[in-house]
A and B are shown apart, each in its own frame.
Chain A
Amino acid sequence: MLFGRILGTAAVVTAVATITSGAALAQKKYDTGATDTEIKIGNIMPYSGPASAYGVIGKTEEAYFRMINEKGGINGRKINFVTYDDAYSPPKAVEQVRKLVESDEVLAVFNPLGTPSNSAIQKYLNAKKIPQLFVATGATKWNDPKNFPWTIGWQPSYQSEAQIYAKWLMKEKPDAKVAVLYQNDDFGKDYLKGTKDGFGAKAASAIIVEESYEVSEPSIDGHIVKIKAANPDVFVIYATPKFAAQAIKKAAELSWKPLQIVTNVSSSVGGVMKPAGLENSQGVLSATYGKDAGDPQWNDDPGMKKWSEFVDKYMPGTDKNDSYVVYGYGAAQTLAKVLEMCGDDLTRANVMKQAASLKDFAPDTLLPGVKINTSATDFAPISQLQMQRFKGDKWELFGDIINGDVPPE
Chain B
Amino acid sequence: MSAAEEVVAEGHQAVEAVPKRAMTLGTTTSLVVLAALLIVPLFAKNFIIFQLTMLLIYGLAVLALNILTGGSGQFSLGQSAFYAVGAYITAVLMEQFNINYALTLPVAGVICFGFGFLFGQPALRLSGVYLALATFALATAMPQLLKLNFLEHWTGGVQGLVVTKPDAPFGLPMGQDMWLYYFTLVVVLAIYIFSVNLLRSRSGRAFMAIRDNEIAASSMGVNVALYKTLAFGVSAGITGVAGGLSAIAVQFVAPDSYNITLAISLFLGMVVGGVGWLPGSFVGAAFIIFVPNIAEGISKGLSGAVFGVLLFLVIYLVPHGARQVAIVSQQLIGKFKKN
Contact = CB atoms under 8 A, between A and B. Distances in A.
Contact of A84 (B253, B254, B296): B296
Interface stretch (B47-55, B220-228, B275-283): B47-55
Interface in B292-314: 292, 296, 300-301, 303-304
Contacts of A35: none
A91 B250 contact: yes
A177 interface: no
A124 interface: yes
B256 A116 contact: yes
Given A89-B261, A102-B47, A95 B159 contact: no
Contacts of A115: 158-159
A49 interface: yes
A87 B46 contact: no
Given A116-B256, A186-B157, A94 B300 contact: no
Given A91-B257, A98-B50, A120 B252 contact: yes
A47 interface: yes
B157 A119 contact: no
Contacts of A309: none
Contacts of B157: 185-186
Interface string B145-164: 00101000000011110100
Contacts of A65: none
Contact of A119 (B144, B147, B254): B254
A85 interface: yes
B250 A120 contact: yes
A99 to B, nearest CB: 6
Interface string B68-98: 0000000000000000000000000000000
Contacts of A48: 303-304
Contacts of B257: 89-91, 116
Contacts of A119: 159-160, 162, 252, 254
A116 B251 contact: no
A216 interface: yes
Interface string B110-138: 00000000000000000000000000000
A88 B256 contact: yes
Given A47-B296, A116-B256, A124 B251 contact: yes
A104 B163 CA distance: 25
A48 B308 CA distance: 13
Interface residues of A, number: 34
B300 A47 contact: yes
Contacts of B246: 91
Contacts, number: 88
Contacts of A187: 158
Contact of A123 (B45, B162, B292, B303): B162
Interface string A309-330: 0000000000000000000000
Nearest to A48: B304
B153 to A, nearest CB: 14
A297 interface: no
A87 B261 contact: yes
Given A48-B303, A90-B256, A185 B158 contact: yes
A123 B51 CA distance: 19
A184 interface: yes
A306 to B, nearest CB: 25
Given A47-B303, A103-B45, A90 B160 contact: yes
Given A47-B296, A47-B303, A116-B160, A90 B45 contact: no
Interface string B26-56: 0000000000000000000111101100100
A215 B45 CA distance: 41
A271 B147 CA distance: 26
Interface string B235-264: 000000000001000111110110101000
Contacts of B296: 47, 84-85
B256 A120 contact: no
A116 B289 CA distance: 20
5 contacts: A48-B303, A85-B303, A101-B47, A120-B251, A185-B158
Interface of A: 47-49, 55, 59, 83-85, 87-91, 94-95, 98-99, 101-103, 115-116, 119-120, 122-124, 184-187, 214-216
Given A186-B157, A187-B158, 17 more contacts: A48-B304, A59-B300, A59-B301, A90-B252, A90-B253, A91-B54, A91-B252, A94-B252, A95-B54, A95-B289, A103-B48, A119-B160, A120-B250, A120-B251, A123-B252, A215-B144, A216-B144
